[in-house]
Amino acid sequence: MSGSRKPGTREGLRIGIGPFPLEREPGRSLHEIYGEMLAHAERAEGCGLDGVWVDGNHFTEEAHGPSPLLAAAALAARTRRVSIGVATLSLSFAEHPLLVAEEALVLDALSAGRLILGVGLGYRLEEFSGFGVPPETRRARFDEALALLRGAFQEPACMPPEGRHFPVGAAVTPEPRPVRPGGPPIWVGGGWQPGAVRRIARLGLPLLSQFFERPALLARKLRLYADCVPPDAPGASTVPVIRDVLVADPDAVGPLLARVYARYAAWGMPLLEGPTRPDEIGPAEALEIAVVGSEREVGERLAELAELGVTEVLARVQLAGIPTEVSVRTIEALGRLRSAASSRAPGGAG
């Protein structure tokens, strides 16, 4: 991977928190949960971390944040320096991509150019049926929407030829115009199938790897992506991954993480590198995926990710059932790890 970061160390590894899943919890209102997210964002910025991220899902009993751009605007209002990220906005059943582009450009202006927009195809059948979108059209809809989104961010705006799913009736220029040349960076989430990894790489966009992917699967994905991405592509040097990260006793949080991952297995995610039944996910399997332990052990696991070529870690620290003090402790520990790594990097203070 390009850049000055030394393989096998955390030097240059950017660390953000989130994406916040914003799940319901017994005895707590969503107002309290959103408020905790905002407090964590302020703390992360104060601890020297690099970004704060929100999730986006629809029609789940857990009430995952269905409006990530709106939640991200609240994060932007409470911070000044950190990147504001969405991971991910499903374009296959989103509103017209030009509306998405305008909302993203407003958010980018509000945040002074700090937005990173993660997009994906979507995968839960409940979401496609809820919006009345045939799931077999998801790839065509995503490709068309992504082309419109990228065209809207160019200067001048360059709309692709009229598509089948999202017609554009006249030459238009979405407003406001981007803060940065090229607009907010676009990352593409998902892509655990080899064909999907190759398609994302050939787009020249960063591949956002998901939190449920085991280390061996992640390593193979990143090698395949590196082999296929054009070396001069703007996104070639950005290699982000989401991970559940907790400075906590593994025995205490392992069962909770197992329940979280079993839910994603029920939605069809390949946690065990293939079709996975929820009852195949226990604490041991969950702790192989998640980054859990003492501050030192968490730092060692982050160094292992850096050795794979990862440049950005999105650390999920706020999960339903995790005490607030564990999330706070984790954010503060990540801040110390980030500061120590920066001081060792070329040009750092150390």
CATH number for position 123: 3.20.20.30
Residue 90 counted as domain residue:
yes
pTM check: above 0.75: yes
pLDDT at 250: 97
Residue 64 counted as domain residue:
yes
Residue 252 counted as domain residue:
no
Domain span holding position 125: 14-241+308-323
- pLDDT tens digit sequence for 214-258: 888 899 999 999 999 998 998 889 999 999 999 999 999 999 999
Residue 344 counted as domain residue:
no
Question: How many structural domains compose the chain?
Answer: 1
Residue 98 counted as domain residue:
yes
Residue 294 counted as domain residue:
no
Distance of CA 230 to the CA centre of its chain: 22
Closest CA to 214 of 277, 283, 301, 272: 272
Percent of the chain at pLDDT above 70? 91
Residue 166 counted as domain residue:
yes
Burial of 123 (0-12, 13-18, 19+ CB in 10 A): middle
Other beta carbons within 10 angstroms of residue 82's beta carbon come to: 24
- pLDDT tens digit sequence for 120-141: 987 777 887 788 888 898 899 9
Q: Give bridge partners of residue 25 from the DSSP assignment.
A: 28
Residue 154 counted as domain residue:
yes
